[in-house]
Chains A and B, each alone.
Chain A
Amino acid sequence: MLLKKMIAVCTFAVSALTITPAMAAYPEKPITLVCWSSPGSGHDLMARYIAKLGEKYIGQPIVVVNKKGGKGKVAMSYVLNQKADGYVIMTNTRSMTKRLKPTGGSIAIDSFKYISRVVQDPFVIVVKEDSPFSTMSELVTYAKNNPNKIKVGGYSTQSVDEGLVHDIEKISNINLNYIPYKGGKEPVVAVLGGHIDVAIANPSEMMTSFQAGKLKALAVTTEDRFSPFDDIPTLKEQDINNVTVHWRGVMASKDVPDEAIKKLDNMIQKVLEEPEFKKFLNSSNMLSGYIGSDKFGEYVAQQTKK
């Protein structure tokens, strides 16, 4: 008798537990957006704008939590260790996924569902105002005669910056001396100070010095030219068939239900339309780079394949 009662209670409890989340409309409590860089960084600001502007579309507050460390690994393992119910999501970047294997291990590309790509951050290849190079072809010609002599600075090793330099080397059949720096602005400072020849930089890192006429831009790395660099040709226009952009987006654990992913994706799409977000993109010199959850995963997988 007692046993029966207990079993009844238990089954009820279990069914209540399993059914509730499916019945209730997501989201019914605040969402945590984990950011893998430190407060105040460009990446963190993007997260905070999504949190601030997204609240009215998703109907719940979004809380930004910073989990720094291990080039994103700390944040990723944190997110993967949470319940996969869509209440803990995280920001991602190309440099972060670039370091992951496609599958296997505790953290891989397929451990996640990719909600949406939010912004793209193209690269500008810059030299000092008095540099002998004004176009990529001049640089390539010089490099052909002087292998390993041109010092190119970029952000970190195994990064998107280094990948871009290696791609250029392969396509043009030249050898450059790639010098990694710790922050994105450091290579630009080194170029300004005349310590290295070329810097790979995002627009936000070189914009002010460029506008003040202290830097020359050799190329942009996008498909088409973009404002305010309308006079600067793309790599493609200069016979270097390469398009490389850095991007930032949002992802969640792979077990999060598609319904939640869809809702979050919709929210981000709407946030991108907000004038305040557009203003933020403009002031931090980034371009909108929306790719929805239907294509984002494939896009990331493809980029990490090669």
Chain B
Amino acid sequence: MNNKIKIFHHDRIFTLLLIAIAVIFFYMIGKISDTPGTGELATATYPRVILGAFIFIAILQFVFPKKGDEKPVSFPIKGLLSILLIAVYIYLLDKVGYFLLTPLVLFILPLLAGYRQYLAIAISVIFVTAVLYGIFKLVLNIPLPAGFLGA
């Protein structure tokens, strides 16, 4: 049991994941083709060299990790939830609009972090949204996703 953990510790699994992704991309390069002129490198050569070197070093890291690399890594659920929240937020951004969606999403983030001063959160969220609106929309005239509210 103890031995198994040492061979496949979290760091190694992550390295394996990186190698796997790199191999997929390496395979994808094969589909790029062109005919280079004199002294010209083909389109595929440079990415191939980079990925090849990457895979080589990643294998080195897999085989000879440094002392301390084998420490276990945990993924608390709240961190993953926050990533999901932001993903949903971006997905809805164009549809719902920045100024409606932002305060809602931002209100949830401190709650995920375990902060419970609702009034303080509300004030800071409204303040931030207002300041960003002022800077981007009014001063710099940069459009932000308006969503169904229109212009």
Contacts and interface: CB of A to CB of B under 8 A. Distances in A.
Contacts, number: 3
Interface in A144-200: 148, 177
Contacts of B143: 65
Interface range, B side: under 10
A233 B38 CA distance: 32
Contacts of A148: 38
A65 B141 CA distance: 11
Contacts of A65: 143
Interface string B44-79: 000000000000000000000000000000000000
Nearest to B39: A177
3 contacts: A65-B143, A148-B38, A177-B38
Interface in A284-304: none
Interface of B: 38, 143
Interface residues of A, number: 3
A262 B143 CA distance: 29
Contacts of B38: 148, 177
Interface string A52-71: 00000000000001000000
A59 B100 CA distance: 34
3 nearest A-B pairs in the assembled complex, by CB-CB distance: A148-B38, A177-B38, A65-B143
B124 to A, nearest CB: 32
B119 to A, nearest CB: 39
Contacts of A177: 38
A71 B38 CA distance: 26
A148 B39 CA distance: 11
B99 to A, nearest CB: 19
A148 B143 CA distance: 50
